[in-house]
Amino acid sequence: MICEILSTLPKADYLCRMAIKRNIREFSLPELKKYFESIGDKKFRAIQAYEWLWKKNARSFEDMSNLSLELRKKLAEEFDLPALTVDASQHSNDGTLKSRFKTYDGHLIEGVLIPTEKRFTACVSSQIGCSLSCKFCATGLMDRKRNLTFDEIYDQVALLNEQSERVYGQKLSNIVYMGMGEPLLNYKNVLKSIDKITASDSMGMSPKRITVSTAGVAKMIKQLGDDKVRFNLALSLHAATDAKRNEIMPINETNSIEFLIESLNYFYQQTKNDITLEYVLLKDQNDSLKDAEELVAVYRQVPTHLVNVIEYNPVAGIPFIKSGEDSTQIFTDYLASHKVNVRVRRSRGKDIDAACGQLANKDTVTA
């Protein structure tokens, strides 16, 4: 009856399937053990299936080769496994690898593998599109379709790790939630994905090697503190006064710099985790010595260990221009002279629109 009702809707086959089946990755190991016992199988089969899901990153039940064909067929009949797939990828001249992933319901998102001499970093998305409309960001031009589920976020990391091992012979060393979307507006799924990424029975990544970046949702920054998270936090500040920040980041109208300073201090008091301030330099917008002076004033009120000054990356249809090398040097020299721990973060993957602020599912991505 349910399938008959759903048959008139778009994606009817999938909707019918989901009305009957549950995503097997929503089950804990104890729950899977109970299920296998209920069908008259042994508990260790649950452990085998769980390893396929979270250590071996099975994309389908057919991949679970140490389970019998009959059992795999039964699992496929009773559960769903809506794994991400790599739709296309691009290699940058500097070694950066951008991948476009397809979700079970046909949406596209992007993730980036950033290799350096010392690090292999995965930059992952948390939403399909974004609702914040930051004026300098390509993703901000897109509508938010939906939040990504925790396993979709996990899949990005797993697939980028596979690419890193295949292309560079190295596992991921770091993960940054700096792709499409605002992570703190998908709070539960982001935290659950990190729980899975850091779990010893899955990827086992240290939380100290994970950074979640936010445009500044003060209430949820405090919630991170209450939840005693163990990962690091980055605030996309980009302007040090409310007047300027309101112009380029509408979220500031309800999350003022005063509130953000308060929430960051609370987060640090509760967790003692690293906080980074991100500041993209925009020519004649936020790159004057006065802007640098105002940034120093904010820096001194926040227990931050670093200011990342970021080179702006051009986006079609957006009028901002990156600051020149001279302006960048003057700006960062001023910060350093006032005892600010500052680093200039050079963009990677600009030639394939994989750099900071450029992720937007452009059709130029090729397989």
Dihedral angle computed from the Cα positions of residues 163, 169, 175 and 178, in that order, rounded to the nearest 10 degrees: -50
Q: How much helix, strand and coil, in percent to the nearest 5, is found in the chain?
A: 40, 20, 40
What are the catalytic residues? Answer: 110, 356
Q: Nearest to residue 194, comparing CAs of 173, 208, 214, 180?
A: 208
Inform me whether the pLDDT recorded for 58 exceeds 60. Answer: yes
Q: Nearest to residue 216, comparing CAs of 247, 237, 231?
A: 237
Task: Indicate the pTM of the whole model.
Answer: 0.89
d(CA 334, CA 66): 61
Inform me whether the pLDDT recorded for 357 exceeds 80. Answer: no
The sign of the torsion formed by the CA atoms of 138, 176, 323, 250 equals: positive
Q: What is the pLDDT of residues 186-202, one digit of tens each?
A: 999 999 999 999 999 99
Which pLDDT score, from 0 to 100, does residue 345 have? 83
Which pLDDT score, from 0 to 100, does residue 94 have? 85
Helices (H), ranges, 199-253: 218-226, 242-248
Placement of tokens 């936020």 in the chain? 286
Domains of the chain: 2-80 (1.10.150.530), 85-352 (3.20.20.70)
Which pLDDT score, from 0 to 100, does residue 16 have? 54
Which pLDDT score, from 0 to 100, does residue 153 have? 98
Q: Report which residue type is found at 135.
A: K
Which pLDDT score, from 0 to 100, does residue 19 have? 55
Tokens of 294: 């105002």
Q: Nearest to residue 312, comparing CAs of 284, 289, 335, 340?
A: 284
Inform me whether the pLDDT recorded for 349 exceeds 50. Answer: no
Mean of the per-residue pLDDT values of the chain: 90
Confidence tier at 220 by pLDDT (50, 70, 90): very high
| % of the chain at pLDDT higher than 70 | 89
Which pLDDT score, from 0 to 100, does residue 1 have? 37
Which pLDDT score, from 0 to 100, does residue 316 have? 74
| % of the chain at pLDDT higher than 90 | 77
Q: What is the pLDDT of residues 91-126, one digit of tens each?
A: 888 889 999 999 999 999 999 999 998 999 999 999
Inform me whether the pLDDT recorded for 364 exceeds 60. Answer: no
The sign of the torsion formed by the CA atoms of 163, 165, 170, 173 equals: positive
Q: Which of 142-156, 232-246, 293-307, 312-326 has the lowest mean pLDDT?
A: 312-326
Which pLDDT score, from 0 to 100, does residue 7 have? 47
